Amino acid sequence: MTDEQWQELAEVEAVLDIVKFYTTAVQYERRPMAALGHPLRSRLLKQLRADAIPVVDLNNVTASSNVPRVHKPVATWSNLGKKCLRRAILEAERRFCGNDALEEGTEDNNNLNHGQPHLMDLQACAMMLDPRTVILTRTLTLNVVPVSLCTV
């Protein structure tokens, strides 16, 4: 492989590395996930939309299982890496933000809506009651969810 192809591969792997955590978290979680859904989706989109993303540092890779990473500005990514990233963002927006575009478009004219994940009332109530997210939800859902929805 050429150096350019290795860089493209590292960029695609960086996108997959971000998505990997969120796809496996649900599979191995032992407790109900209702309260964690919205924070995880928001974090996924934030990481995918970042200006710089951790990419494998190909110059410092060793036999160690810990892969060294360096933050690489998305603006400097290859066309293939940018396209992979746009597709990942579009797919997340389709699932979580109501984007109904069929294609990711181009870098200059994309079909991304840059929206936030939908927060349903029951998710907000679960977030406020779950000890894992109660601190987070004080800032996210204050004055968003009617108290009557959370009472039994």
pLDDT digits (tens, 9 = 90+) for 67-124: 999 999 999 999 999 999 988 988 888 877 776 666 666 555 565 666 676 666 666 6
Of residues 39 and 26, which shows the higher confidence score? 39
* Residue 13 clears pLDDT 90, i.e. is over it: yes
Question: CA dihedral in degrees (7, 10, 15, 19; nearest 10)?
Answer: 170
Spatial distance between the Cα atoms of 57 and 83, rounded to a whole number of angstroms: 20
In order, the DSSP letters of 37-91 are HHHHHHHHHHHHT-SEEEEE-GGG--SSSS--EEEEEGGGS-HHHHHHHHHHHHH
Instruction: Identify the band that residue 141 occupies on the pLDDT scale cut at 50, 70 and 90.
Output: very low
Spatial distance between the Cα atoms of 90 and 144, rounded to a whole number of angstroms: 26
Q: What is the pTM of this model?
A: 0.71
